[in-house]
């Protein structure tokens, strides 16, 4: 009876969940910093929850069909025909992409990036571009959008002649600092100087990105290429940032540091043992070109520039003005970059289809453009890819 009186003296409870909170509330802990434990669902809201679940499911189906607007920069030289190839394949795979096409990518009377291109990229936050040879234009767009890193995905394509066997290497390089900082001056007549910049914040930013990329994409090894034995302060700063980030991921990723020349030997002699390689700007550019050549020709290695303001996809191929309009350019790199773009905007199914179609053409046919030993035209290769789709 005493127990019953004590129970009757308690305030009325609205639900079993309320009783649980009354007696267990003091023992509940926060799941993470700044976040409270998730409250139990109220019994009377179950029907509403089911209905909202169905609505969310329907909404997710609709979002899969939602059109994504993408900035497309034709570039120069063979750029227009390569970007036409990208649009044709994206259309064939029925990906809901709306193109914001820019033929004019330079400002009037200068090599600056045109205001229209900048405005489009800021609005859409995703873009794909053809080749642009102007170093000033490339430097400006990197700085305008704080594109601090460039990611190259280099892998063997079955059917392309290569003595390097099967490999799958990701090369990530700094784009804002290092030897490519773009700071040069004349000291005295006959003596020029370039300044290699390395900041603690910049090195830490790319280190964090590299390790997060490896964990997200289930990569197991990160190798940093450096010359800190010679450039103790600049390369030393870059290396220290990598070491500090590696200490946070000791259970997730194996970290190793190697001199640049050792890395080059390793990627050439044992490419199957390379996973993610990271370095400052110029070293990474060397590694990227070598890995692209290992695929068959440098221009077919796809990649993208990383920024919190947006992502721009390209394969860093030359404009090849002498081939412009002759239908002889190799569209493999831009098409593989387009597949990466589809994956970036959560169109994974279409991305897989495009990637598989490109590789199927190389594996099962002899359709090749002249740069990789074939006689086919660009349009013929694109048609073969579309036929596979």
Per-residue pLDDT tens digits for 293-349: 899 887 899 999 999 899 999 998 999 999 999 999 999 999 999 999 999 999 999
Instruction: Decide: 211 and 241 in contact? Cβ < 8 Å.
Output: no
Neighbours of 26 (CB within 10 A): 6
Cα angle 316, 317, 323; round to 5? 160
Among 74-83, 115-124, 292-301, the range scoring the smallest mean pLDDT is 292-301
Q: Cα 273 from chain centroid?
A: 22
Report, in angstroms and rounded to the nearest whole number, the Rg of the chain calculated over CA atoms.
Answer: 26
Among 115-129, 172-186, 339-353, the range scoring the smallest mean pLDDT is 172-186
The CATH number of the domain covering residues in 65-150+302-388: 3.40.718.10
* DSSP annotation string for 19-38: HHHHHHGGG---SBTTBPPP
DSSP 153: E
Query: 10: phi > 0 → left, psi -120 to 50 → alpha, else beta; which?
Result: beta
Residues 6+ positions from 207 with CB-CB distance below 8 Å = 241, 242, 244, 245
The CATH number of the domain covering residues in 162-295: 3.40.718.10
SS3 224: strand
Which pTM does this prediction carry?
Answer: 0.81
Query: CATH 3.40.718.10 spans which residues of the chain?
Result: 65-150+302-388, 162-295
Cα angle 351, 353, 357; round to 5? 120
Cα angle 237, 238, 244; round to 5? 85
pLDDT by residue (tens digit) across 252-263?
999 999 999 999
Structure confidence at residue 376 (pLDDT): 95
User: How far apart, in Å, do the first and last CA atoms of the chain sit?
Assistant: 78
């Amino acid at each position: 009876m005493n127990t019953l009186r004590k129970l009757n003296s308690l305030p009325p409870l609205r639900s079993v969940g309320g009783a649980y909170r009354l007696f267990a509330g003091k023992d509940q802990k926060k799941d993470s910093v700044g976040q409270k434990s998730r409250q139990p669902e109220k019994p009377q809201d179950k029907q509403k929850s089911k209905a909202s679940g169905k609505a969310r499911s329907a909404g997710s189906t609709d979002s899969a069909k939602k059109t994504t607007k993408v900035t497309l920069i034709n570039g120069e030289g063979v750029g227009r025909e390569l970007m036409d190839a990208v649009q044709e394949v994206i259309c064939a795979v029925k990906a809901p992409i709306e193109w914001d096409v820019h033929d004019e990518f330079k400002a009037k009377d200068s090599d600056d990036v045109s205001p229209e291109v900048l405005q489009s990229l800021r609005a859409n936050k995703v873009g794909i571009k053809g080749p642009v040879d102007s170093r000033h234009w490339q430097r400006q767009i990197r700085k305008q959008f704080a594109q601090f890193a460039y990611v190259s995905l280099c892998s063997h394509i079955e059917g392309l002649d290569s003595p390097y066997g099967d490999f799958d290497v990701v090369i990530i390089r700094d784009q804002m600092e290092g030897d490519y900082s773009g700071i040069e001056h004349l000291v005295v007549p006959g003596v020029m100087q370039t300044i290699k910049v390395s900041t603690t914040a910049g090195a830490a930013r790319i280190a964090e990105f590299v390790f997060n990329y490896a964990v997200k994409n289930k990569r197991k090894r990160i190798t940093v290429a450096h010359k800190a034995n010679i450039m103790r302060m600049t390369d030393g700063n870059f290396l220290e940032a990598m070491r500090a980030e590696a200490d946070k991921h000791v259970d997730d990723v194996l970290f190793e540091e190697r001199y640049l020349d050792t890395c080059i030997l390793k990627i050439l002699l044992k490419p199957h043992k390379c996973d993610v390689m990271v370095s400052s700007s110029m070293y990474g550019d060397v590694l990227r070109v070598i890995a692209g050549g290992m695929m068959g020709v440098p221009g077919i290695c796809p990649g993208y520039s990383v920024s919190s303001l947006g992502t721009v996809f390209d394969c860093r191929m030359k404009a090849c003005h002498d081939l412009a309009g002759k239908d002889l350019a190799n569209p493999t790199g831009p098409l593989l970059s387009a597949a990466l773009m589809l994956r970036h905007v959560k169109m994974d199914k279409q991305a897989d289809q495009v990637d598989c179609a490109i590789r199927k053409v190389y594996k099962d046919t002899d359709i090749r453009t002249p740069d990789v030993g074939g006689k086919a035209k660009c349009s013929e290769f694109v048609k073969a890819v579309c036929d596979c789709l």
